[in-house]
Amino acid sequence: MSNYLAIDGGTTNTRISLVKDGKIIGRVVKEIGARKSIEGNMLLKSVIKEGISQLLLDNHIQNGEIDRILASGMITSEYGLMEIPHIIAPAGISEFHSAMVELVFPDISEIPFVLGPGVRMDGRCFDTVDVMRGEETELFGLMDALEPEKAYILPGSHSKCIFADVNGRISYFFTSLTGEMFFALMKDTILKSAVACENQVDVDYLIKGYDFCEQWGLNRSLFKARILKNVFQCGPLEIYSFFSGAVLHDEVKSLLNLDVKEYVVAGKSQLRNPMEILLKRCSDREVTVLPDKLSDIAATVGIIRIYEYGDETI
């Protein structure tokens, strides 16, 4: 059985996992991603090199014991290590496997890297063209097979809603800038003094935020977070929940308009949990929520599945 280092490069974080004999035995998470590499990738390279060295040292493993470094996500974008062209949907695991690129980054490691591509919606219609890097790998790690008539929802920095055709290939998807909107509004506006990130949600205030946005729109709803703090002296959880309901409103509304029988929701619990609450409250369709333990390892499992696809000898 092969041993790998698997890198999941996101917009805000880079996760490096050590996989030995099919089991994840170590992981490091670095708080640097594509957002901090817009001006150049030297820091990203340095952080990845440091993370790899740390994992191998801590687990008493030599470079020669690792077969490949498998990388996916924004690390294969123009703000990553090297830009790998998107493949065109519809695309399944076979197409992703065939489009992988192997090369060595000697300033990082002597171990060969294998970079996975993202996927792009083709066409001339502005409404439907979209791109994705990383979430496709996560989805293949979450699901043994993709099914039509389901919407696969992966909340995150760039939240994705993904659909499959009858052959189990990714056929269509669209993106919302949800996670980055949360981050930007909380860090770089006057709401910084009012909204603090919480790991739980107050259901009543989440729904209040959603309903207020439904009636008055996002712009007006956002300022109400400040009103809740300064006028009504609400607590951090209530304010954050109202804020979350407002920010998630447009994305949830777009999901409610879909002609599907089931929503399958995974991803980070911070966004996944309020998404689940709102979908169950606003829709009578089935909502299936995948647990944290699956979401946490999905990108690692997915990139290995893609790399090993069709190889009976691995």
Q: What is the pLDDT of residue 122?
A: 86
- Tally of CB atoms within 10 A around 273: 19
pTM for this one? 0.92
Task: Clarify whether residues 278 and 299 are in a common domain.
Answer: no
DSSP string, 210-267: HHHHHHH-HHHHHHHHHHHHHTT---HHHHHHHHHHHHHHHHHHHHHTS--SEEEE-S
Q: Are the C-beta atoms of 295 and 266 separated by less than 8 Å? A: yes
Task: Clarify whether residues 119 and 183 are in a common domain.
Answer: no
C-alpha to C-alpha distance for 74 and 81, rounded to whole angstroms: 9
User: Worst-scoring range by mean pLDDT, 16-20, 75-79, 115-119?
Assistant: 75-79
Task: Clarify whether residues 239 and 279 are in a common domain.
Answer: yes
What domain range includes position 39? 4-146+292-308
Task: Clarify whether residues 189 and 130 are in a common domain.
Answer: no
228-251: per-residue pLDDT in tens?
Answer: 999 999 999 999 999 999 999 999
Residue 166 domain-assigned (yes or no): no
8-41: per-residue pLDDT in tens?
Answer: 998 888 999 999 999 999 999 998 887 777 777 8
**Residue 234 structure tokens:** 């609400």
Task: Clarify whether residues 129 and 112 are in a common domain.
Answer: yes
